[in-house]
Chains A and B, each alone.
Chain A
C-alpha cells in the first residue's frame, strides 16, 4: 500500500492557469507538509499542517493555498501559475509535530509541474 500518494505525477499547463495537486496519506499521521524542489534540487518547505491546522507558512506567494479537508489530506492549489512555479512538489507526512523517537517524514513520489 502506498503510504503517501500524490496526484498527478506530471502536470503541464499554461501560464496564468489555476491548478491543484492532491496529497493523501494512509499512515494515520497528524502532520503533513508541502515542499518545493527546484531545478537545482534544492528542497524547501512551503507549508506544514498539524491536525488540519496551519503550522508553517514559509514565504510563499499567496497564489499558493494549501487546503486540508481532513487529517489524511493536504491539497495544494496554485492560482495564476507563473514560469517560476515549475518545479517538483513533494508532499510528506510525519507522526506528530512534536519530535518523538519514531519521528520520520514519509515523502510522496512528487509532482513535476511544468508551466509553459
Chain B
C-alpha cells in the first residue's frame, strides 16, 4: 500500500524568505501523480502544485516549485518570497494511476509566516 509521510509538523519562515516543506512517499508503482494542497484557516483545500511522475522536469507555479526526486521518492515544496497569506497547513498527496485511483494524503505541515 502507498504511504505519504510529512516529517515536519510545523515550520516557520520569515516574510520574503524561502522555505522548503518535505514529503516522502512509498509506492511500488512507476506512474502516479503527486500534489501539494494548502489548507488555510478557512479550511478550504486549495491545490498549490501538481507533478506527474513520468515528467522529469520539476513543476513550478509562480513562487511555488517542487523538487521531485523519483528514485528517492521525495517530493518537497519550495515557497519563495514567502507572504503572510502563505500561512496554512500544507498537505502532500499521492494519487495512483491504477486501481481505485484514490488520493492518499500526508499528515500535513503547518507553516507559519513571521512578519
Contacts and interface: CB of A to CB of B under 8 A. Distances in A.
Contact of B44 (A43, A55, A107): A107
B108 A41 contact: yes
A56 to B, nearest CB: 5
A44 interface: yes
Nearest to A109: B44
A80 interface: no
A43 B91 contact: yes
Interface string A39-73: 01111110010000001100000000000000000
Interface of B is mostly: strand
Interface of B: 33, 35, 37, 39, 42-47, 50, 52, 89, 91, 95, 97, 100-105, 107-108
Bin the interface of chain A by size: 20 to 34
A26 interface: no
Contacts, number: 55
Most buried by A among B42, B46, B91, B105: B105
A103 interface: yes
Contacts of B37: 107
A68 B109 CA distance: 33
Given A101-B52, A103-B33, A110-B44, A45 B89 contact: no
Nearest to A104: B47
B97 to A, nearest CB: 5
Q: List 3 tightest A-B contacts by C-beta distance, closest first.
A: A107-B45, A110-B43, A43-B105
B45 A90 contact: yes
A74 interface: no
Contacts of B42: 109
A43 B38 CA distance: 13
Nearest to A101: B52
